[in-house]
């Protein structure tokens, strides 16, 4: 079981992902914005940051950069419909972050998370 911090601005997607990850045995703390997720990092320790890229206030790449700087041991996974943004070297996203492109099957998400956490 992993402690997962989920940052996703779409309410229905966030609820759907949280429920699926909890059914897979993980504990999930959900946030609707990157700045809100950053605040949660000071309150609790997490094994994984699972974040969308395009969000208001603070995008997922900035959230990942700040998270990686503060907690270098934390695993990071982007879930996005804009994989090219995450792959662009100019955005300085953490190199070790995993990218899962939307749309994806929940089975694939859980498998990728399990692989990432086991690495």
What's the pLDDT score for residue 71? 95
Q: What residues in the chain have per-residue pLDDT under 50?
A: none
What's the pLDDT score for residue 88? 57
119 in any annotated domain: no
* φ/ψ (deg, to 5) at 72: -60, -20
Residue 35 is part of a domain; what is its CATH number?
3.40.50.2300
| CA 95/CA 9 separation, integer angstroms | 23
How many domains are contained in the chain?
A: 1
Contact at 8 Å (CB) between 97 and 86? yes
Q: What is the DSSP string of 31-75?
A: ESSHHHHHHHTTTS--SEEEEES--SSS-HHHHHHHHHHH-TTSE
pTM of this structure: 0.90
10 in any annotated domain: yes
Domain that holds residue 69: 3-114
């Amino acid at each position: 079981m992993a402690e997962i911090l989920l940052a996703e601005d779409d309410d229905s997607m966030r609820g759907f992902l949280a429920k699926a990850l909890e059914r897979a045995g993980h504990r999930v703390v959900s946030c609707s914005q990157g700045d809100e997720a950053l605040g949660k990092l000071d309150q609790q320790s997490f094994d994984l940051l699972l974040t969308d890229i395009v969000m208001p206030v603070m995008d997922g790449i900035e959230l990942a950069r700040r998270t990686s700087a503060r907690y270098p041991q934390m695993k990071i996974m982007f879930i996005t419909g804009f994989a090219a943004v995450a792959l662009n070297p100019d955005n300085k996203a953490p190199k070790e972050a995993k990218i899962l492109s939307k749309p994806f099957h929940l089975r694939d998400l859980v498998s990728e998370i399990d692989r990432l956490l086991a690495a």
